[in-house]
């Protein structure tokens, strides 16, 4: 399904598409972690064609989005980049479930431009004395930033490299710093590294599993006017077909 979209193939058969001519007119507002900025565009058209429901996505760091929701921002579904920020929504009694629900697992990578002097890229590049700037996401608001800090700490490089950090508010901004050349290296999400923009301009290596699992969770908001539709989309995201396709987009299935 997702593969057809990424390859530019048809999303639906003509008969299926015709069956969707009666659009529901419903509109769902989704607050999504920044690492999904290269994932949801591949999924949203499929779901919109399938159901006639329009999905309006707002991206940001998980911490920022959670704060906005706690302060009254009206959304139907929150898809975080970890479990801690969705759990804050649960703890505040604002979720339509007793727990944050996992929908994917994320992966941290080291990325550099193809014209970087650190090609072929390897983790040892982090220790190169010539590296001046390393992009990471904010450790407090962005789960991938927290994962990057944990990995560097495990490698006993955190204190040494901290003065070189160029900190993005979220993982997308961190990626932009290194993609634009304002940082030599970047610790970013695999979802970004596998996107067309980043795969065409740079290369990546996986960071070993020395950081806490990035268990990405979501919650439907209890006060949503479209709880049924929000849950339906979340269930679709958790379906076996979509879960099977997540690795093509840089996420691990929870199954």
Q: pLDDT tens for the chain, 255 residues: list them.
A: 555 544 443 333 333 333 343 345 689 999 999 999 999 999 999 999 999 999 999 999 999 999 999 999 999 999 999 999 999 999 999 999 999 999 999 999 999 999 999 999 999 999 999 999 999 999 999 999 999 999 999 999 999 999 999 999 999 999 999 999 999 999 999 999 999 999 999 999 999 999 999 999 999 999 999 999 999 999 999 999 999 999 999 999 997
Residue 66 near residue 89 (C-beta atoms within 8 A): yes
pLDDT at 26: 87
Q: How many CB atoms lie within 10 A of CB 239?
A: 12
Distance of alpha carbon 124 from alpha carbon 157, whole angstroms: 11
pLDDT at 2: 59
pLDDT tens digits for range 71-84: 999 999 999 999 99
pLDDT at 138: 97
pLDDT at 1: 57
3-state DSSP of the chain: CHHHHHCCCCCCCHHHHHHCCCCCCCEEEEEEEHHHHHCHHHHHHHHHHHHCCEEEEEEECHHHHHHHHHCCCCCCEEECCCCHHHHHHHHCCCECCCCCEEEEEECEEEEEECCCCCCCCCHHHHHCCCCCCEEEECCCCCHHHHHHHHHHHHCCCHHHHHHHEEEECCHHHHHHHHHCCCCCEEEEEHHHHCCHHHHHHEEEEECCCCCCCEEEEEEEECCCCCHHHHHHHHHHHCCHHHHHHHHHHCCECCC
Query: Two tokens at 112?
Result: 């550099």
Residue 49 near residue 20 (C-beta atoms within 8 A): yes
Residues contacting 186, CB < 8 A, separation 6+: 110, 111, 112, 134, 135, 136, 174, 175, 177, 178, 179
Torsion of CA 58, 61, 64, 67, to 10 degrees: 80
pLDDT at 216: 98
pLDDT at 255: 78
What is the edge-to-edge ordering of all strands in the sheet holding 214-220?
A: 54-60, 27-33, 77-79, 214-220, 101-106
The full set of domains in the chain, from first to last, is: 2-105+215-249 (3.40.190.10), 108-206 (3.40.190.10)
pLDDT at 12: 34
pLDDT at 108: 98
């Amino acid at each position: 399904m997702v593969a057809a979209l990424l390859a530019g193939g048809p999303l639906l058969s003509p008969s299926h598409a015709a069956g969707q001519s009666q659009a529901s007119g419903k509109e769902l507002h989704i607050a999504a972690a920044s690492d999904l900025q290269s994932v949801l565009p591949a999924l949203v058209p499929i779901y919109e064609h399938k159901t006639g429901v329009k999905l309006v996505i707002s991206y940001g760091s998980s911490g920022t989005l959670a704060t906005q929701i706690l302060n009254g921002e009206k959304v139907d579904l929150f898809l975080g980049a970890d479990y801690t920020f969705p759990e804050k929504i649960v703890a505040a009694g604002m979720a339509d479930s007793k727990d944050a629900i996992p929908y994917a697992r994320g992966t941290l990578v080291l990325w550099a431009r193809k014209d970087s002097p650190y090609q072929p890229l390897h983790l040892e590049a982090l220790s190169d004395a010539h590296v001046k700037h390393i992009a990471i996401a904010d450790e407090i608001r962005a789960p991938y930033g927290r994962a990057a800090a944990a990995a560097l700490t495990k490698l006993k490089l955190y204190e040494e490299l901290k003065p070189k950090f160029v900190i993005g508010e979220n993982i997308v901004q961190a990626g932009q710093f290194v993609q634009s050349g304002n940082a030599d290296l970047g610790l970013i999400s695999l979802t970004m590294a596998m996107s067309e923009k980043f795969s065409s301009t740079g290369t990546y290596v996986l960071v070993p599993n020395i950081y806490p699992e990035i268990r990405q969770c979501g919650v439907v908001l209890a006060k949503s006017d479209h709880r049924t539709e929000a849950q339906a989309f979340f269930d679709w995201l958790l379906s076996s077909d979509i879960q099977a396709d997540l690795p093509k987009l840089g996420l691990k299935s929870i199954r």
